[in-house]
Amino acid sequence: MEIDTRSFVSKCCTGSESAWSKFFELFHPLIAGTVRKIVEFDQEDVVQTVYFKLIEDNYRLLRNFRGDSFYELLAYIRQISHNVAANHRRSQGVEKSQTTSIDDFLELLTANDTPETRYLQLEASSEIMAAVMSLDAKYREPAYLLMQGYKHKEIAGILAIPIDTASTRIRRAYQKLEENLKELVKK
Amino acid sequence: MNDKHLKEQELSAYLSGTVTKTVREDIERHLKLCNTCFQNFMNMKEAIFLQKGGEKISSKMKDSVLQRIRDSRQSHISIIVRFLKDKIVVFSGDQDSLSYQGLKATFAFRDGEADILTRSKEGPISITRVIDDREVTITIHPLSQKDRIGLSLIVKPSESLQAAVSFNGEEIETIADISNQSMLSTHLPKQGELDIKFSKQNQTVFTITLNLEAGE
């Protein structure tokens, strides 16, 4: 991405409208996409709250950005969007119902990738995360992304692999995880 | 590398393919073992994917956000001062275009534009902005210590305002009455964030942020 990241952030922090127009162009898909993975209702309101958070207190959050690269800025904006959306979800009292049990998680791995399926980010327990981390990278990454609420097609996009490969890896991840997780439950 | 977490900068370089083979292998080894770094790495991958989504902001939301930005300007102004090798560049949030681009040398001269462009003697530069119906002039003074600057503040019409000055989040100085004392006694580095809170009877009247950037 051909922008001078530090300079761009500084200009946004001055309230420059041209810099913010560029910001909308570059980051709106990221903010909206992140929010959609976490909240089911009021998505537009939550996206707007992310922007207001970025502006409030004299752009405090943007001023705290310490990175230099565009990728770092992407990760930073994503994290802010995630935090705002997660706070909103908590304020709606839905956090508990989203917490995934081991069985739920295994079910998720075998679920069909249909539009009816609710793909929202899940709060994974440390046991699930440990089990996911125990997988080889090629299975760990799709399993982790599934936890983040992505569909098979999106996982394929993120990992730059064909959708069939993504689905196969998810099925294999399930087979490996099932054994590991059931073992953990027994303990 | 396994003893500490990977920096985002390292992950960013890894993702953009700008690391050496050895570094790449080190990073991949670390990602296999470190839960935190793996999640940071995946977050970055997700962010890159989502950013390419192409969704456009609605004009209603855009207007609403821009209005919030305009509203915030009524009692606050942000200014960036970038010290470059051959010029000083100033950006101000209430004026979208560059105000002072083209000033020459470490500091420009003030007595006439021709002088500014042809002489490189050091001299103060002043930035004047209107905020909350007051005219605020910030003057940056060169010092014999080249990596430091002095700063003075003038508010018109003159009134008794307190100015609390913080640098990089730490309070460094308070001027009890700006109408009696305009010069900060602290000499500031050319790189950092300066926040000045003007208040009257313990009520904040307006604030100014000056981002000082030492460039190439």
pLDDT digits (tens, 9 = 90+) for A20-44: 999 999 999 999 999 988 888 889 9
The larger pLDDT score, comparing residue A6 to residue A52, is at: A52
B47 touches chain A (CB under 8 A): yes
Q: Which residues of A touch B207 (CB under 8 A)?
A: 58
Per-residue pLDDT tens over the stretch B17-40: 889 999 999 999 999 888 889 988
**Poorest-confidence range of B12-16, B17-21, B118-122, B175-179?**
B118-122
Note whether A162 contacts B: Cβ–Cβ < 8 A.
Answer: no
Reduced to 3 states, what is the DSSP secondary structure of residue B118? helix
- Alpha-carbon gap, residue A75 to B152, rounded angstroms: 38
Cβ–Cβ below 8 Å for A18 and B96: yes
List B residues 111-170 in contact with A (Cβ-Cβ < 8 A). Answer: none
Q: Are B71 and A15 in contact (CB under 8 A)?
A: no
Nearest to A10 among B28, B53, B211 (CB): B211
For position A185, what pLDDT does the model report?
A: 63
ipTM computed for the complex: 0.80
Please tell me the predicted confidence (pLDDT) of residue B113: 40
Mean per-residue pLDDT over chain A, rounded: 81
**Which is higher by pLDDT, B146 or A103?**
B146
| Structure confidence at residue B3 as a pLDDT band (50, 70, 90) | low
pLDDT at B83: 83
B34-68: pLDDT as tens digits: 888 998 899 999 999 999 887 899 999 999 999 99
> How far B202 CA lies from chain A's nearest CA (Å)?
18
Contact A143, A128 (CB under 8 A): no
Q: Report pLDDT for A159.
A: 93
User: Any CB–CB contact under 8 A between A187 and chain B?
Assistant: no
> Quick one: pLDDT at residue B173?
94
**Containing H/E element for B200?**
strand B192-200
In this predicted structure, the answer to whether residue B115 has a pLDDT above a threshold of 70 is: no
Residues of chain A in contact with residue B73, where contact means CB-CB under 8 angstroms, are: 15
Long-range contacts of B85-94 (CB under 8 A, 24+ apart): B85/B215, B85/B216, B88/B125, B90/B127, B91/A10, B91/A11, B91/A14, B91/A16, B92/A14, B92/B127, B92/B129, B93/A13, B93/A14, B93/A15, B93/A16, B94/A15, B94/B129, B94/B130, B94/B131
Q: Is the pLDDT of residue B161 over 50?
A: yes
Do residue A51 and residue B61 have CB atoms under 8 angstroms apart? yes
Q: For residues B198 and B204, is the Cβ–Cβ distance under 8 A?
A: yes
Tokens of A80: 């802010």
The dihedral region occupied by A140, where left means phi > 0, alpha psi between -120 and 50, and beta the remainder, is alpha
Answer whether residue B105 shows pLDDT above 70.
no
Does B93 have pLDDT greater than 80?
no
pLDDT (tens digit, 9 = 90+) per residue, A106-140?
666 665 544 334 444 555 566 777 778 888 888 99
Check CB contact of A159 with chain B, cutoff 8 Å.
Answer: yes
Say whether A144 and B42 touch across the interface (CB within 8 A).
yes
Cβ of residue A153 closer than 8 Å to a chain B Cβ:
no
In the structure, what pLDDT confidence band is assigned to residue B107 with cuts at 50, 70 and 90?
Answer: very low
CA distance A134 to chain B (A): 9
Q: Which of B53, B66, B70 sits opposite A33 (nearest CB)?
A: B53
Are the Cβ atoms of A58 and B207 closer than 8 angstroms?
A: yes
Q: Count CB pairs under 8 A between chains A and B.
A: 151
Q: What integer pLDDT is reported at residue B88 of this predicted model?
A: 78
The partner residue sitting opposite A68, judged by closest CB among B9, B68, B213, is B9
Q: Which H or E element spans position A44?
A: helix A43-63
Q: How do B203-214 and B76-83 pair as beta strands?
A: parallel
CB < 8 Å to A79, chain B: 43
> Greater confidence, B26 or A185?
B26
User: Residue A67 — very low, low, confident or very high, per pLDDT cuts 50/70/90?
Assistant: confident
Q: How confident is the model at residue B194 (pLDDT cuts 50, 70, 90)?
A: very high
